[in-house]
Structure formats: structure tokens, C-alpha cells
């Protein structure tokens, strides 16, 4: 079974803090994704990575950056957290037949 | 742009069949997916169908695709209380890294 893990289930941070969200997959997938999920808006793509050190912006990259130093690990960075970044963050990796496998999510609250 | 639409809520009685519907606009969709999200969790891939298929069955799940009308449905036979969740329809064209998700249908199963 594909396993995608995220470093935290819940996080509470203060405005202006730098926040790191980590995601690890164990299936040697090349492609990994970060989404945020908000009520009524569905899933919106922040960034994706198609290889180590390679990344592409998604639909809402502003205020975020990413890092992919190793194939299994994809990190999302909030350089200076703001209250409008309070959300559920979902990491995914892409398997065969273009299927995506998701981690359990990190619910981030920025105060 | 591409869009995927779903109704917001569906309520059924335990033991009945549930049918969750989805419409999409991208005529180049190659893969269509159904995901399930339980409270506080990530998205779990339930099933997927290629655009050249009309129907796919997997135990209690039946996916029907009407490519002409760009309509996808998920039928859950003998619905159980454990099926209560949010169900997301998604599509991709297979050629890019872009997946379009619907906003999800919340299924409530009444005992």
C-alpha cells in the first residue's frame, strides 16, 4: 500500500512565524503535490514537484515556497504565516494511471 | 476554464443505494476519479475510470461515465453508516500535472 505521511495533524502558529509542513511518501513516486482545502472551495493546488529539486507553481503559490531535496520528501514553507493561511493542507504523490495518493492532512491555525 | 461540479449534500437511509453525481467541462479529460474524505482525514482514492470506459464496478461501487454529457456518477450499493463522508469527483487530462476537483458531496447515511 502507498503511504503518504505528513509531519503534523494539527499546528497552531502565530502571524509572522515561518512554518514548515513536511510530507513523506514511501513508493518512490516522482511527482508530489501540495494542496490546501477550504470549505466551499474544494482543493486548490499550491505547488507540485516532478523530480528532486524541480518544482512548478500551482494555482495559488503566493505566500508559499517548497523544497524537494530528496525524492521521498516534499516540504511546504510558509515564509511569514498570515491568518488567511489558516486551512487544511494536503500532500499527495502520484502513482500509476495518474492516480493521486493523499496524506492525512495538516490542519493549520494561524493566530 | 475547466470546472467540476457536484451537489453539496445527499442523505440516504442505511441499506439503500446512494448515487452521487458529477459534471465536468474539460473534454480532454482522460481519467476521472472518486475520492472519499472522512472527518479530519485526507482523501482516500476509491476508484477511477478511463474516459474510454462507460462503466466500472468494484464490489459495492459502480462508476458510470457518460462522456457525451460529461457526466460521472458513483453508485454505492447497500449504503452503510460507515459510508458517511465527503465524496470528491476529480478529473485529469493525463498530460499535465493538473487535477481538477469538485467541491465535494457530503453523504449522510441515516440509521
Span B3-17, pLDDT tens digits: 899 989 999 999 999
CA distance A16 to chain B (A): 26
Per-10-residue mean pLDDT, chain A, length 111: 88 97 94 92 92 92 96 96 97 86 95 97
Residue with cell 486548490: A44
Consecutive H or E run containing A15: none
Instruction: Say yes or no for a CB contact (<8 Å) between B31 and A98.
Output: yes
C-alpha to C-alpha distances, A100 to A52, A104, B29, B78, nearest whole angstrom? 18, 13, 15, 27
Beta bridge partners of A88: A37, A107
Question: What pLDDT digit, counting tens, does each position of B77-99 carry?
Answer: 999 999 999 999 999 877 667 88
User: Rounded to 5, what percent of chain B is helix, strand, coil?
Assistant: 5, 55, 40
**Residues 28..57 of B with a Cβ closer than 8 Å to A: which?**
30-31, 33, 35, 40-45, 48
The four Cα atoms B78, B83, B85, B89 give a dihedral, to 10 degrees, of -60
Question: What pLDDT digit, counting tens, does each position of B27-68 carry?
Answer: 777 889 999 999 888 999 999 998 888 999 999 999 999 999
Residues 6+ apart with CB under 8 A from A22: A6, A7, A73, A75
Round to the nearest angstrom and report the end-to-end CA distance of chain B: 40
pLDDT score, position B96: 67
Looking at the predicted structure, is the pLDDT value of residue B1 above 70?
Answer: no
pLDDT score, position A79: 94
Q: For residue B101, list chain A residues with Cβ-Cβ distance below 8 A.
A: 42-43
CA distance A48 to chain B (A): 8
CB A103 within 8 A of CB A26: no
Amino acid at each position: 500500500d502507498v503511504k503518504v505521511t505528513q509531519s503534523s495533524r494539527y499546528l497552531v502558529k502565530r502571524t509572522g512565524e515561518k512554518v514548515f509542513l513536511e510530507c513523506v511518501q514511501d513508493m518512490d513516486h516522482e511527482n508530489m503535490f501540495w494542496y490546501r482545502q477550504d470549505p466551499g472551495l474544494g482543493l486548490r493546488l499550491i505547488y507540485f514537484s516532478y523530480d528532486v529539486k524541480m518544482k512548478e507553481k500551482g494555482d495559488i503559490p503566493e505566500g508559499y515556497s517548497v523544497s524537494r531535496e530528496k525524492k521521498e520528501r516534499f516540504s511546504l514553507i510558509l515564509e511569514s504565516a498570515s491568518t488567511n493561511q489558516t486551512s487544511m493542507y494536503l500532500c499527495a504523490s502520484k502513482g500509476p494511471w495518474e492516480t493521486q495518493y493523499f496524506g492525512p492532512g495538516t490542519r493549520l491555525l494561524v493566530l | 476554464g475547466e470546472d467540476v461540479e457536484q451537489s453539496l449534500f445527499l442523505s440516504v437511509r442505511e441499506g439503500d443505494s446512494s448515487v452521487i453525481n458529477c459534471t465536468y467541462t474539460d473534454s480532454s479529460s482522460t481519467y476521472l476519479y472518486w475520492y472519499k474524505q472522512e472527518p479530519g482525514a485526507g482523501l482516500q482514492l476509491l476508484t477511477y475510470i478511463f474516459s474510454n470506459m462507460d462503466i466500472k464496478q468494484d464490489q459495492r461501487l459502480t462508476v458510470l461515465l457518460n462522456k457525451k454529457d460529461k457526466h460521472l456518477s458513483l453508485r454505492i450499493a447497500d449504503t452503510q453508516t460507515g459510508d458517511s463522508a465527503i465524496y470528491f469527483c476529480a478529473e485529469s487530462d493525463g498530460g499535465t500535472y493538473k487535477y481538477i476537483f469538485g467541491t465535494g458531496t457530503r453523504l449522510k447515511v441515516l440509521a
